Amino acid sequence: MKRPPNPLPSDPAHLQNLVLELQAQLLVQQRQLQQKDLRIQILEEYVRLEKLRRYGPKSEKVAGQGELFNEVETLAEVDLPEPTALERAEAPAHPSARRTSTPRPGRKPLPAELPRVRILHELSEGQQVCPCGCQLKVIGEEVSEQLDIVPAQVRVLQHVRQKYACRACEQGVLTAPLPPQPIPKSQASPGLLAHLMVAKYLDAQPLHRQEKALARSQVHLPRQTQATWMIRASQLFQPLLNLMRDTLLSGPYLHCDETRLQVLKEPDKPAESQSYMWVQVGGLPDRRVILYDYRDTRSGRVPVELLADYQGYLMVDGYEGYGAVGRQDGVQLLACWAHARRKFVEAGKAQPKASKTTRRADQVIQQIARLYKIEREAQEFSPEARYQFRQERSLPILADLRAWLDENRAQVLPSGKLGEAIAYLDKYWPRLVRYCEDGRLPIDNNPAENAIRPFVIGRKNWLFSASQQGAHASAAIYSLIETVRANGLEPYHYLRHVLKALPRVQSVEDYERLLPWSLTADTLIESRLADEGGVG
Give the pLDDT of residue 531: 76
**pLDDT > 70: what percent of the chain?**
84
H/E segment holding residue 86: helix 85-90
pLDDT of residue 274: 92
Confidence (pLDDT) at 12: 77
- Please indicate whether residue 413 or residue 468 has the higher confidence score (pLDDT): 468
pLDDT at position 30:
82
Q: Please tell me which of 62-66, 84-88, 93-97, 119-123 the model is most confident about, judged by mean pLDDT.
A: 119-123
pLDDT of residue 3: 59
Does 373 score more than 90 pLDDT? yes
The confidence band for 396, taking pLDDT boundaries of 50, 70 and 90, is: very high
Query: To the nearest whole number, what is the mean pLDDT of the chain?
Result: 85
Task: Identify how many contiguous H helices and E strands the chain contains and give both numbers.
Answer: 20, 9
What confidence score (pLDDT) does residue 53 get? 67
Across the range 96-110, mean pLDDT stands at 58
Q: What is the CA radius of gyration of the chain?
A: 34
d(CA 277, CA 462): 15
For the residues 43-52, what does the mean pLDDT come to? 68
pLDDT of residue 65: 42
Predicted confidence at residue 514, as pLDDT, reads 96
Instruction: Please report which confidence band the pLDDT of residue 13 belongs to, taking 50, 70 and 90 as the band edges.
Output: confident
Question: What letters, b where the CB count within 10 A reaches 16 and e where it falls short, cover 416-455?
Answer: bbbbbbbebbeebbebbbbbbebbbbbbbbbbbbbbbebb
Mean pLDDT to the nearest integer, 227-233: 96
Q: Find the range with the poorest average confidence among 81-90, 308-317, 378-387.
A: 81-90
Q: What percent of the chain has pLDDT over 90?
A: 54
pLDDT one-digit tens code per residue, 267-295: 988 988 999 999 999 999 999 999 999 99
Write down the pLDDT at residue 279: 96
283, amino acid identity: G
The CA-based angle 177-178-183, given to 5 degrees, is 145
pLDDT at 473: 96
**What pLDDT score does 201 carry?**
95
Task: Return the pLDDT at 149.
Answer: 84
CB of 283 closer than 8 Å to CB of 451: no
Separation of alpha carbons 364 and 288, rounded Å: 33
* pLDDT at residue 412 in the model: 80
Specify the pLDDT at position 347.
85
What is the reported pLDDT for 80? 37
Instruction: Kindly state the average pLDDT of the residues 210-217.
Output: 92
> What is the average per-residue pLDDT within 433-455?
95
Highest mean pLDDT among 30-44, 89-103, 338-352: 338-352
| Strands 331-335 vs 312-316: parallel, antiparallel or unpaired | parallel
Residue 362: CB atoms within 10 Å: 21
What confidence tier does 58 reach under pLDDT thresholds 50, 70, 90? low
Contact 275, 262 (CB under 8 A): yes
pLDDT of residue 96: 41
Residue 259 has pLDDT above 50, yes or no: yes
